[in-house]
Amino acid sequence: MNDFDKRPDPNQLLEDIQTQQENHSGKLKIFFGYAAGVGKTYAMLDDAQEQYRMGKDVLVGYVEPHTRPETLELLKGLPSLAPKLVFYRNIELKEFDLDEALKRKPELILVDELAHTNAAGVRNLKRFQDVEELLNAGIDVYTTVNVQHIESLNDVIEGITGIRVKETVPDYIFNKADKVELIDIEPDELLRRFEDGKIYKPERVQTAMNHFFTRENLKLLREIAMRKAVDRISDENQNERLTTEKMANTKMLACIGPSPSSAKCIRWTARAAEAFHAKWVALYVESTDSEHLTPQQQKNLRENMDLAGKLGAEIVSLTGHDIAISVAEYAKLSGITNIVVGKSYNKRTLKNMFDMDFEDKLISLLPSIEVHIIPGATVRRDYKKPHKVIWKGKIEFSWIDCAKTAALLVVATLASLGLRMVGIGDQNVIMAYILSVLVISRNTKGHIWGIVASVASVLSFNFFFTEPLTRLMPFRQVILLPFLLCLW
């Protein structure tokens, strides 16, 4: 028993192995800001100069060519790596030379613009992949990034600025950094720097200040950057195994599909899971409708799954006839505490008119689990010429609406004839036509079909249910005109 008690703790051994691996790899320090021009590159070079004076082997791997005198001054005296020249479409581009940096293998290397997309012909697609190779080789790295380039915040930034940032960095890169230094200045000071031409060339200043770099946008971006930095500090404190029982038991699930709005749910869940330090799952349920996905929908589904995996989710695919029931069963078996779904906007048809919405059905099946409903983003659709003629924006012609109107009027007439045969009065026949007009107005586009249905209802009532039957009386049409107006 005493020998058993003296055995080393397996968890401690695992931690020692992980610590040795981390000690072998390089350290990453990110200079983090909320916009271009806050001073990230300046702060990075200033820190590098101090490290160089202390005797550390420092190498400037790549720094964006700025025209700011203060930044250029800090480059003096630091050993620099010549950029790699890449020719793309008859244009000479300068890129970071990763192979030469690995060959030189300094103690510390500076690589600016972490979210940069490399030119075609370079080994890695993204610069953060270059940084990962440097870290794995045991080289410390200084780099810079702005808050709008963090992947999980992409849709939040788009909602604020109206601009989709295409160059992003996975959150795990930011979260695994050994140090993150927030570089901050007041938005008013940043705008003055724009006006003085210290950030962009004069011809670009006014365009930038009128679109992305407005005072309101900068204030919100600054707040988001500060919150991101605070969340990181909170996460570091929580990693001392002081998490509460509620946090330890929290497990989130994001329902994903081929819809472009699924990306918004994925990013929201990733941010929430990071805030609660919880595990999360991205779940896709393949139903019979999945067989009819278009190539674009299949592409969207793959991109959504890739995005979820990139943000740290466990990807799960199920097969089921009813999606809500499949999600509910999985949630019960997996200990899910929070479910994130997008708001569904299914077009109502006669087939699904009385069906419960997916999110409502999920709530009824899982009364003890929190369900978070995320409104979908506005879908950008390519213009397609409609098969209809539009007049003054109020009257639209469509063969589908024409067929709906004719079918519903025929049904109303047949139902009214049935009521007449069983001896039910004309008042109920009139109500049947009124109901058909309301249904037609609700399920067709434009005003014309409500008008057509009203006129046709009056004429049908006159023809089939007014003595003499199957004849139209001119004076009756005039008498029934008020009735027509009431129907409309």
Q: Is the pLDDT at 470 greater than 80, yes or no?
A: no
What tens digit of pLDDT does each residue of 242-257 get?
444 444 468 999 999 9
High-pLDDT (> 70) share of the chain, %: 76
Residues 274, 235 contacting (CB under 8 angstroms)? yes
Alpha carbon 58 to its chain centroid, in Å, reads 39
CA distance 307 to 265: 11
Q: Could you report the per-residue pLDDT of 365-390, keeping only the tens digit for each?
A: 998 889 999 887 554 444 444 444 44
pLDDT tens digits, 85-134 = 888 777 888 899 999 999 999 999 999 999 999 988 888 999 999 999 99
pLDDT value, residue 246: 43
Distance CA 269, CA 435 (A): 45
Residue type, 431: M
**Per-residue confidence at 205, pLDDT binned at 50, 70, 90?**
low
Question: In this predicted model, what pLDDT tens digit does every residue of 147-180 receive, in sequence order?
Answer: 999 998 988 888 888 888 889 999 999 988 999 9
Question: Hey, what are 484's tokens?
Answer: 């027509």
The SS3 call for residue 354 is coil
More confident residue, 231 or 273: 273
What is the pLDDT, as a whole number, of residue 60?
95
Tens-place pLDDT, residues 279-296? 899 999 988 777 778 889
Query: Is the pLDDT reported for residue 44 higher than 80?
Result: yes
Residue 276: count of CB within 10 angstroms of its CB? 19
Q: Report the predicted TM-score, pTM, of the whole model to 2 decimal places.
A: 0.59
Q: Which tokens belong to 29?
A: 């320090």
Helix, coil or strand: residue 83? coil
Smallest CA-to-CA distance from 436 within 448, 452, 421 is with 452
3-state helix, strand, coil in the chain (%, to 5): 50, 15, 35
Going along the chain from its start, the domains and CATH numbers come out as 24-238 (3.40.50.300), 247-374 (3.40.50.620), 390-487 (no CATH)
H-assigned helices in 25-94 = 40-53, 69-75
Q: How many CB atoms lie within 10 A of CB 471?
A: 10
The pLDDT confidence band at residue 442, using thresholds 50, 70 and 90, is confident
Q: Within 10 Å of residue 212's Cβ, how many Cβ atoms?
A: 19
Where residue 55 falls among pLDDT bands split at 50, 70, 90? very high
Residue 241: which pLDDT band, with cuts at 50, 70 and 90?
very low
Average confidence (pLDDT) over 70-89: 88
pLDDT level of residue 475 (50, 70, 90 thresholds): very low
**Choice between 346 and 159, residue whose per-residue pLDDT is larger:** 159
**What is the H or E stretch that residue 61 is in?**
strand 58-62
Comparing 129-138, 237-246, 453-462, which segment has the lowest mean pLDDT? Answer: 237-246
60 exposure class (CB count in 10 Å sphere: 0-12, 13-18, 19+)? buried
pLDDT band at 37 (very low <50, low <70, confident <90, very high): confident
Query: Cβ distance 140 to 178 under 8 Å?
Result: no
> Angle 86-110-144 (CA atoms, 0-180°, nearest 5)?
95
User: What pLDDT does residue 445 have?
Assistant: 77
